[in-house]
């Protein structure tokens, strides 16, 4: 990655581009706190969980976007919706969570050092 970034974090790959994913800022975490808390909410029956999935994807992408925007202010949420695959979302959220000092329920916190490239 040849770009200079303002904040260090985990090296990730979305589509054909590499990014340095930093932690959320305190301001971003405060703003996104309801979405952060909702990520691990698996209460309800299967029908309710399925109904909440589109909103969960929106929430996760908003968190991923917020973190990436610290180093890449030109990256849009619409671009991430196109470029991030469904199987990447959970891994990217775990990386943001680990970088931000949060641990997703039932998951191990990712290392703060460089992460393997996400495909």
Distance (Å, rounded) from C-alpha 114 to C-alpha 90? 18
Exposure string over 25-48, b if 16+ CB within 10 A, otherwise e? eeebbeebeebbeebeeeeeeeee
- Please list the residues that pair with 20 across neighbouring strands: 11
Cβ atoms of 110 and 98 closer than 8 Å: yes
> What's the predicted TM-score (pTM) here?
0.79
Q: What is the pLDDT along the chain (119 residues), one digit of tens a residue?
A: 446 899 999 999 998 999 999 999 999 999 999 998 888 777 878 888 888 888 999 999 999 999 999 999 999 999 999 999 988 999 999 999 887 777 654 443 444 444 444 44
Tell me 81's DSSP state: H
Indicate the domain borders of the chain: 10-99
Residues 6+ apart with CB under 8 A from 67: 9, 21, 22, 23, 24, 28, 96, 99, 100
Torsion angle, CA of 75/77/80/86, rounded to 10 degrees?
160
């Amino acid at each position: 990655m040849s770009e200079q970034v303002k904040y260090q974090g985990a090296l990730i790959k979305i589509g054909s581009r590499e990014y340095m994913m930093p932690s959320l800022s305190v301001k971003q975490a405060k703003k996104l706190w309801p979405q952060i808390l909702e990520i691990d909410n698996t209460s309800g029956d299967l029908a309710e969980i399925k109904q909440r999935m589109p909103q969960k994807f929106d929430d996760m992408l908003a968190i991923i976007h917020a973190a990436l925007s610290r180093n890449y202010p030109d990256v849009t949420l619409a671009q991430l919706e196109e470029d991030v695959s469904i199987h990447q979302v959970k891994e990217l959220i775990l990386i943001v969570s680990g970088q931000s000092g949060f641990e997703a329920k039932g998951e191990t916190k990712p290392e703060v050092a460089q992460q393997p490239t996400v495909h």
